[in-house]
Amino acid sequence: MSEGDAETAGKSAAHTESGIPNTRDAALAERAVRKLADLADDTGPVPARFGAAAAEPVDIPTTAVRLLREILAQMAHGHGVALMPIHAELTTGEAADLLQVSRTHLVQLLDDGRIPCRMVGAHRRLRAADIVAYRRETEARRRLSLDELTARDQNTGLQ
């Protein structure tokens, strides 16, 4: 193996470990997303076979298929993906990253009581579920504000 091949292999391994897809995996993910698109819209479990063609089918819950489709869609765009249980506890830095805000802004939200947290010694810990709920509420308020602005523009003839 040449030095260039070793470097490429090293980068490929690093990408795999970090969840960032390489070009080949992104292309595979794109094809898989298209195949899963219709399956994830069904209401019942989705039968899947792994390994040999004669393998016994395994029923995959529809919610798991939807998650898989979202993971593959992100990978198809070259984005890394990390899974986290909803009951996980996060540091303020991790929570700020999930909300795409500064840690300072997050601490202000915690101090204002807008997001619950608990203290572990001198450190704050936040539940992932509370961060997801806050993000959903914020997005809902943002959509409502945009809808109101759009309606006002339409009423005044600006649109």
Q: Tokens 């995996």 identify what position?
A: 25
Q: How many CB atoms lie within 10 A of CB 73?
A: 17
Establish how many alpha carbons lie within 13 A of residue 110's alpha carbon, considering only the half-sphere containing its beta carbon: 22
- The tens digit of pLDDT for each residue in 76-104 reads 999 988 888 888 999 999 999 989 999 99
Contact (CB, 8 A) for 135 and 128: no
d(CA 136, CA 142): 10
* pLDDT for 15: 40
* pLDDT for 159: 64
* pLDDT for 23: 92
The domain 89-156 having CATH identifier 1.10.1660: the answer here is yes
Task: Report if pTM > 0.75.
Answer: no
Give the long-range contacts of residues 123-127, CB within 8 A, separation 24 or more. Answer: 123/91, 123/92, 124/91, 124/92, 125/89, 125/90, 125/91, 126/89, 126/90, 126/91, 126/92, 126/95, 127/87, 127/88, 127/89, 127/90
Domain boundaries, the chain: 3-76, 89-156
CA 25 to centroid of chain Cα atoms: 18
Q: At what angle do helices 92-99 and 128-156 cross, to 10 degrees?
A: 30
pLDDT along the chain (159 residues), means of 10: 42 50 92 82 79 82 89 92 88 93 97 96 96 94 93 81
Whether the CA torsion 72, 78, 84, 86 is positive or negative: it is negative
